[in-house]
Structure 1
Amino acid sequence: MTAEFRLPATQPRMKIVLMRHGKPDFDFSRRINAVDFARIAHEYDIARLADTPPAAAISIARQCQAIVCSDLIRSALSAQALGLEDIALTSPLFRESPLPYPDSGAVRLSLTAWAVLLRISWLLGYSRNAESFQAARQRAQKATHHLAGLAAEHGSVLLVGHGVMNRLLAKALRKQGWQETQAPGSKHWSFGVYEYPAGYR
């Protein structure tokens, strides 16, 4: 039996939990070229979920007093799968930073290969048809202030978010003095935990 995850019992501290959404019901084995990418990206954004959350994800989610989602459907569906109904905030601030892609090209690769290649290119400054890395970092900085404000009000916050954006949020929180007590993983339903003294402003 999987042990239930519990936030540590300490002196009053605010907590922010960054959780990645569940696994979308989506076929990544298809081979496509650049012209297909915008259509395929839209298909991914409207996909339903293909799995259910593990016990540890459900446990920590239900300990949080305020729930935040991005405006992408996989975030809302994941919150529902966790048994969460009272969403304090839904905002595009927390949505995944989309992959860039070229407007033409005959090269056909698997979606997984495209995702790796384009995300590395994005980190190196390529941003055609997408938000730039710098813009995503600035958005993450703004988003952390909303999370911190909710944490100050409610004590604990769960964001049901996305892999890359959650990592940018985690980095922004650490720079603002939040202590990472559990690092976020890369798998679906994985989560990171961040704490700050209750007197934070």
Structure 2
Amino acid sequence: MKQIGLVRHHRVTEGYPTKGWISAADIEAWIERYDVSTIDVQPVELGNIDWTICYASSMPRAVQTAESVYGKDIIVTDLLREVPFPTIRSRIRLPFLAWALIGRLVAPFSKRIQAEIKDANERIAVLLNQLTFEQQEHERVLLVGHGGMMILMRTALKKRGYVGPRFGHPRNGMLYLFEKREG
């Protein structure tokens, strides 16, 4: 049986902006801080599975998480990098949650965001094709990355015959196990 485990990076210590009404420039500054923030390392239950290989997104929070949960060499890859947070060019000021909601609402209509999602899906396909080739040697693959990529990865794994849990917003530091029976 082939197994792929998805783990979202540990919680980032740079919290969401809470200072009230913020601008698009404030969001971009927050994203820069978030991308280099430290993480809150917590124990991760990996299902008592002897993972044979581990890939991690090249973003620091994912690499640090992988190092904290996997005791062997890690393959760091840009293929698992996060889909960028949607930003909007505007001078208006809104609460952070309003910016997040607007980002979700405009995503289906934004050519830039759709292109980034398409790129992410292509990167996932490249990685899964690589894993398919390598899985004769590595039956249990651990992937450490980001929430948005995990949602896209789940869809791609299901299309390839893997069975695994449903999730809307993956939790930090939690294993989501996908399995595929051979034959």
TM-score class, shorter: 0.7 to 0.9
Q: Where do residues 170-185 of structure 1 align in structure 2 (5 Å cutoff)?
A: 170-180=154-164, 182-184=165-167
Partner of 1:107: 93
Cα deviation for residue 158 of structure 1 reads 0.2
5+ long unaligned stretches in structure 2: none
Provide Cα deviations, 1:159-178, integer angstroms capped at 9, x if missing partner. Answer: 01111101101111111122
Q: Deviations over 1:146-192 (max 9, x none)?
A: 33334332111000111110110111111112222x44562111232
Aligned match of 1:81: 68
Two-structure CA RMSD over aligned residues (Å) = 2.4
How far the C-alpha of 1:72 sits from its partner, in A, is 0.3
AA aligned opposite 2:31: A
- Unaligned runs of 5+ residues in structure 1 are 1-12
Q: Paired residue for 1:139, among 123, 126, 133?
A: 123
SS in 1 for 2:91: coil
State the percentage of identical aligned residues.
26
Q: How many pairs are equivalent?
A: 180
Aligned-partner Cα distance in 1 for 2:154–2:113:
25
Q: How far off is 1:131 after superposition?
A: 4.9
Residue 160 of structure 1 pairs with residue 149 of structure 2:
no
Alpha-carbon displacement from aligned partner over 1:2-32 (angstroms, at most 9, x marks no partner):
xxxxxxxxxxx11111111110001212442
Normalised by the length of structure 2, the TM-score is: 0.84
CA contact (8 A) 1:101 1:128 kept: no
Amino acid at match of 1:90: V
Cα distance change of structure 1 residues 24 and 150 upon mapping to structure 2, 3 Å threshold: farther
Which structure would you say has the larger RCO, counting Cα contacts within 8 Å and 6 or more residues apart? Answer: 2
- Relative to the length of structure 1, the TM-score reads 0.77
SS in 2 for 1:159: strand
